[in-house]
Structure 1
Amino acid sequence: MDRMLRESIDWMEPEVLAELREWRGQTRGESYLPWKEVHTRAKAANIRINGHFNGEPGAHDAFVARRALALLRGHGDAPIHAVVLVRDSDNDEAQRRKGLEQARAEVSSLGPILIGIAHTKRECWVLAGFTPETDDEKARHQELRQELGFDPCLRAEELTAQQDGAKRDAKRVLKLLTHGVVDREHLSMMQATIQQLEERGRGTGLSTFLSEVREKLVPLWTGAPPPRPKHK
């Protein structure tokens, strides 16, 4: 998201970015609000929100997202200008997206609400940015292509989230490519062009999320979304 801001807004230089945006969770003392803590925090705050969504039953994640947004509305320590809801699909992409969209449709007081569904795992988004550089990385990449029968960096949507350590487990594949080095994962996302991430990420939800960033987040600084890039 920071890259999209810098590359979409001419005057937003890296050295001033920290002064122009702050990523936070329920409070400013945390960097994000963990999904696994939403129910406990909502119960402690006496937030009990049930019922249908515009006459429809809630899909997967609709209620937890509803509670998360209620927690953010009651934060009280600083204004919130946008919310980002990001989830792994865990092989349930359609229902999770529907549930998050149901919750988003109810709220207008928190600014734009962005939705990101990483299919099947967030590791698939990182794979979209991975390009082997060293001889060792190239060798491991080639071995995985032969083992899987496809290139996991180009077709990460064919990886799964069903069993840790399985042949097509997205976590296993990324760990093999990066030797489990977090900095190498970070470089994959930062060095790849936005066009590469969009093209490779069409089947994993990454391209859709980047469109949300471009259309909903960037206009907070520019007043209008930048034009969509033309892919050759």
Structure 2
Amino acid sequence: MSEPAYVFGVVCEAPADQQTACTIADRVISAEVDWVQPEFRDTFYRWSGVGASPDVKFVRWQKVREESALLSIRPLFGRFGGEAGKPDALMTRRALLLFASLKRLPDAVVLVRDSDGDASRRDGLEQARSAYDWPFSVVIALAEPKREAWVLSGFEPKGHNEGTRLQRLKERLSVDPLIKSHELDASTHGAKTDIKRALRELTQDDQLRELQCIEDSTLDLLKQRGAKNGLADFMKEVQERLVPIFKGPAVPG
């Protein structure tokens, strides 16, 4: 199989993060670029890590330092446009340097991250993106507080059992987790408002059901419910920084 026209690098923490973010990006791209349809997607672009294998779709944040050492990439130190680095800025710069060192430069790099309730993480990602003239577009996918919030944004109960589970969850949380997922807890495992627990109660740990939430829901619904959990911001980033790659010169940095 021939190499697709475009390669989009991905940095994230786990396969579920890559699947969630890239599935949503796929949908936005298909909606905006009519000739990039799902059945032919692989001929136009692929998601990638830093290895040669096309089966590797991302590089883990935890592996960026190790991968950089393997390629003898010297880390950059110092400030960002005269400012001290905010949370995640140094790590993000290292990740972007890693992709910038590859023989086959990606056309874009997507930074998938959970805020874990720390809003300053977005500032750090923005610092690393804007402080340098990167040779590719940089897309920020920051889930607030975690990627589970994006899945909750697309959950629509199917059948009586799911409807009952949703109603019980609303009563237990005293909040609608589908429209206020950003208010759930990201740090205390098993807590009353633990976002992972909330999603697990609705989907019963069914990964296919999770995928249906982001594949089957309308983009308008995802955007509406994702206004405060980072999803709407990410969809806008895809529109502004990935879609133009298919239509002409990409947005730099």
TM-score (norm 2): 0.85
In structure 1, the gaps of 5 or more residues are 226-232
Partner letter of residue 4 of structure 1?
V
Find the aligned partners of 1:40 and 1:16 in 2 and give their Cα distance.
Answer: 34
Cα separation, 2, equivalents of 1:124 and 1:67: 27
**Whole-angstrom distance in 1 between the partners of 2:201 and 2:52:** 35
CA contact (8 A) 1:4 1:213 kept: yes
* CA displacement, residues 58-103 of structure 1 (integer Å, 9 cap, x when unaligned): 0000000011011111122x2310110110001102x111111111
For 2:213 and 2:34, the matched residues in 1 are separated by 23
Are the structure 2 counterparts of residues 224 and 41 from structure 1 closer, same or farther at C-alpha, using a change threshold of 3 Å? closer
Greater shift in the superposed pair: 105-114 or 152-161 = 105-114
Please tell me whether the aligned partners of residues 188 and 194 of structure 2 are also in contact (alpha carbons under 8 angstroms): yes
Matches of 1:108 and 1:52, distance apart in 2: 15
From 101, 118, 122, the equivalent of 1:74 is 101
Q: Determine if contact 2:73/2:98 at 8 Å carries over to the other structure.
A: no
Q: Which residue of 2 aligns with 1:20?
A: 44
- Residue in structure 2 matching 1:34, options 48, 51, 60: 60
1:177-188 to 2 correspondences below 5 Å: 177-188=202-213
How many residue pairs get aligned? The number is: 223
1:230 aligned partner = none
2:54 aligned with 1:54:
no
Q: How far apart, CA to CA, are the structure 1 residues paired with 2:125 and 2:51? A: 21
Question: Does the CA-based 8 Å contact 1:27-1:75 persist in structure 2?
Answer: no
Q: Label 1:163 to 1:51 Cα distance change in 2 as closer, same or farther (>3 A).
A: same
Mapped contact 1:47–1:67 kept (Cα < 8 A): no
Which residue of structure 2 aligns with residue 157 of structure 1?
Answer: 182
> 2: CA distance between counterparts of 1:100 and 1:131?
32
Comparing 167-176 and 27-36, the one that deviates more: 27-36
Q: Which amino acid aligns with 1:17?
A: R
| Greater length-normalized contact order (CA 8 Å, ≥ 6 residues apart) | 2
Query: What one-letter code is carried by the residue in structure 2 that aligns with 1:27?
Result: G
Identify the residue that residue 228 of structure 1 maps to in structure 2: none
Name the SS for the 2:140 alignment partner. Answer: strand
Identify the match of residue 64 of structure 1 among 79, 91, 101: 91
Deviation at 1:220, TM superposition (A): 0.7
Mapped to 1, the partners of 2:208 and 2:66 lie a distance apart of 32
Q: Which amino acid aligns with 2:133?
A: S
Structure 2: runs of 5 or more not aligned: 1-24
Q: Distance in 2 between matches of 1:38 and 1:11?
A: 34
